[in-house]
Amino acid sequence: MLKPEQVRRYFDLPQPVLTAYLNTNPAKPANRKPEPRFLTWLKAEAKTISRTLPLEEQKVFQQQLERVETFLRDRAVRGSGLVIFAGPKAWEVLAIEGEIGDEARWGGPYVAPFLRLMGEHKPHEVVILDRKGARFLRYQMGEVTEVAARPFDVNTSSWRKKDMGKVAAAPVRSRRGAAGVVKKTRGSQRATFDRRMDARYARLCAETAHQATQLAARENLHTVFIAGAGQMLAEVANGFSRDSARHVVKIEKDLGRVSTRELARHLAPAIARWERLHEAEVVESLLGNGRKTVIGMDETLAQLQQGRIRRLVLAGNMDAKLRRCLRCGLADRAADAICRRCGGEREIVAVGEAALELAWKQNTEIEIVSGEAGERLEGAEGIGGWLRQPAEARIAG
Ligand SMILES: [Zn+2]
């Protein structure tokens, strides 16, 4: 699971470190060979990196490379991706589900691919509803973890004795509002029972919505998907307060009996479909929003460097480059090799990487769009964002 706390920790690792992102997906035959493909790739890439380093640093680099190689050889690598940070004073390994590209760097911890993954795969909340209760789950990159559960207590034995006299068998709860034809005493008992049952379920649904809201806020989950059926699904969905900025999406599916392990398979298509729609909406809204937004590379980067962007939107396949000052970080598309602000040396860096790192440092929300939404954003050079309100800009600046 990708969490912002992890990125913060990686960002602060003591330099220098060798950062390696490796696609270890065992579904690829080349990754199952005695010398797996990702290891061959890393060795070749390391040669390229090593050539650019001063002699005394090459030794430190080689030590860390050997450490990583040994780790990769000694251990059956599970999962489809692996991120390693290795330095004289650092060692971090993280397994990642989902496709990642191979990348390696030496120097400061390289977290941009990580930020990109987080921008692409926002964690969501899923609530699985049935008459027995609600399960609360975290969903990210096809992985599901159960966070909490709330069994619905609908024990009615005390009602019958106290208030309702004898009811022969536990009555089947009728649909809400449809109490049916009331016949004689037995019928009116049934109606009373149904009303109380409805009230009980209404309260449980409201409590479920409340708990889901709190969990989403606490864990910073992007969208709440509620899977269930009928009246309960509608009631829980309606229980979310309207001013909550979070999206609430209904999935009409009774998954109450599906185990947590199996859930991802059932949920992934619906969540992926919603994400595509959401990305398209984000881009349309960005391109049509005028005053509160910026689009295009120069303007967006300028605003971003002044801490004025609240939410950054980036096309996933963007590969443009720019120059960034190694000393003060000033980045733009000018071809100057020397920084006009501080005179520092400027390195060539991908726009996406520079933008992601700036956004991360400023607590800017990052949204990566792909597919059709990404193509649409390319009309605006693949980058744009929403500006902070004036008060927010002051806090950030
Ligand atoms: Zn500079």
CA 28 to centroid of ligand 1, rounded, Å: 44
Q: How confident is the model at residue 186 (pLDDT cuts 50, 70, 90)?
A: low
The pLDDT of 281-293, averaged and rounded, is: 90
Lowest mean pLDDT among 115-129, 349-363, 381-395: 381-395
Scanning 297-379, the segments in alpha helix (DSSP H) are: 297-305, 351-361, 371-378
Residue 179 pLDDT greater than 60, yes or no: no
pLDDT at 5: 81
Q: How far is the centre of ligand 1, averaged over its atoms, from the C-alpha of 240 (Å)?
A: 48
Give 358 Cα–ligand 1 centroid separation in angstroms: 15
Structure confidence at residue 158 (pLDDT) = 66
Residue 7 has pLDDT above 50, yes or no: yes
Structure confidence at residue 106 (pLDDT): 96
The answer for residues whose C-beta is within 8 angstroms of residue 285's C-beta and 6 or more apart is none
Q: How sure is the predictor about 60, in pLDDT bands with cuts at 50, 70 and 90?
A: very high
Q: Minimal CA–CA distance to 266: which of 377, 128, 360?
A: 128
Helix or strand run (H / E) with residue 332: strand 331-332
Strand partners, 228: 252
pLDDT at 155: 72
- The mean-pLDDT minimum among 103-117, 163-177, 333-347 falls in 163-177
* pLDDT confidence of residue 164: 52
Compute, in angstroms, the gap from residue 346 CA to the centroid of ligand 1.
Answer: 8
More confident residue, 316 or 153: 316
Ligand 1 center to 347 CA (angstroms): 11
Q: How far is the CA of 105 from the centre of ligand 1 (A)?
A: 22
The pLDDT assigned to 53 comes to: 94
Q: What percent of the chain has pLDDT over 90?
A: 61
Centre of ligand 1 from the C-alpha of residue 108, in Å:
18
- Laid out side by side, the sheet with 90-96 consists of 90-96, 81-87, 17-23, 103-107
Query: Which pLDDT score, from 0 to 100, does residue 392 have?
Result: 55
Higher pLDDT, 204 or 188: 204
DSSP H helices in 288-370: 297-305, 351-361
- Average pLDDT on 250-277 reads 92
396 C-alpha to ligand 1 centroid (Å): 21
Q: Please determine, for residue 223, whether its predicted confidence score (pLDDT) is greater than 50.
A: yes
CA 307 – ligand 1 centroid, Å: 17
Residue 8 Cα, ligand 1 centroid: separation in angstroms? 24
3-class SS at 329? coil
Between the CA of 326 and the centroid of ligand 1 the distance, in Å, is 7
Query: What is the spatial distance between Cα 245 and Cα 391, in angstroms, rounded to a whole number?
Result: 19
Give the H or E element holding residue 23: strand 17-23
Q: Would you state the pLDDT for residue 51?
A: 94
**Can you give the pLDDT at residue 391?**
63
Q: What is the pLDDT of residue 178?
A: 46
Distance 355 CA to ligand 1 centre (A): 16
CA of 50 to the centre of ligand 1 (A): 26
Instruction: Give residue 322 CA to ligand 1 midpoint distance, Å.
Output: 14
Mean pLDDT of 310-322: 92
Task: Compute the distance from residue 320 Cα to the ligand 1 centre, in Å.
Answer: 21
Which CATH number applies to 124-272: 3.40.50.300, 3.30.420.60, 3.90.1150.10, 1.10.1740.10? 3.30.420.60
> How far is the centre of ligand 1, averaged over its atoms, from the C-alpha of 299 (Å)?
19
Ligand 1 centroid from CA 48, angstroms = 27
- Read off the pLDDT band of 397 (50, 70, 90): very low
Distance 109 CA to ligand 1 centre (A): 20
pLDDT at 269 over 50: yes
Calculate how far, in angstroms, residue 58's C-alpha sits from the geometric centre of ligand 1: 27
Tokens 């120059």: give the residue. 323
Q: Is the pLDDT of residue 195 over 70?
A: yes
Q: How confident is the model at residue 317 (pLDDT cuts 50, 70, 90)?
A: confident
3-state secondary structure of 349: strand
How far does the centroid of ligand 1 lie from the alpha carbon of residue 338, in Å?
8
Q: Who wins on pLDDT, 181 or 90?
A: 90
Distance between Cα 60 and ligand 1 center (Å): 28
CA of 337 to the centre of ligand 1 (A): 11
pLDDT recorded at residue 161: 57
**Highest-scoring range by mean pLDDT, 26-35, 238-247, 284-293, 319-328:** 319-328
**Average pLDDT of 326-338?**
93
Ligand 1 mean position, distance from CA 331 (Å): 8
Q: Report residue 136 CA to chain centroid gap.
A: 16
CA 145/CA 135 separation, integer angstroms: 10
Q: Which residues contact 162 (CB under 8 A, 6 or more apart)?
A: none
- Residue 151 CA, chain-centre distance (Å), reads 27
**Interval between CA 339 and ligand 1 midpoint (Å):** 5
Can you give the pLDDT at residue 342?
96
Q: How would you classify the pairing of strands 383-387 and 293-295?
A: antiparallel
- Ligand 1 midpoint to CA 323 (Å): 11
Q: For a pLDDT cut of 70, what percent of the chain falls above it?
A: 89
Instruction: Over range 117-129, report the average pLDDT.
Output: 91
CA of 324 to the centre of ligand 1 (A): 8
Q: What is the pLDDT of residue 386?
A: 96
What is the residue-averaged pLDDT of the chain? 87
Band (pLDDT 50/70/90 cuts) for residue 251 is: very high
Identify any residues that bridge with 325 across adjacent strands, giving them in sequence order: 346
Distance CA 193, CA 8 (A): 54
CA 335 – ligand 1 centroid, Å: 14
Q: What is the pLDDT of residue 177?
A: 46
Ligand 1 mean position to 283 CA, how many Å?
32
pLDDT of residue 127: 96
Q: Rounded to an integer, what distance in angstroms lies between the CA atom of residue 220 and that of residue 216?
A: 5
In angstroms, what CA-CA distances link 172 with 151, 169, 179, 327, 361? 19, 9, 11, 72, 57
Distance 354 CA to ligand 1 centre (A): 14
Confidence bin at 357 (pLDDT 50/70/90): very high
Question: Counting runs of H as helices and runs of E as strands, what totals does the chain give?
Answer: 12, 16
Q: Is the dihedral of CA 21, 25, 28, 34 positive or negative?
A: positive
Q: At 93, phi and psi to the nearest 5?
A: -130, 135
Query: Which pLDDT does position 34 carry in this prediction?
Result: 86
**Which of 3.40.50.1100, 3.30.1330.30, 1.10.10.10, 3.30.420.40 would CATH assign to domain 288-396?**
3.30.1330.30
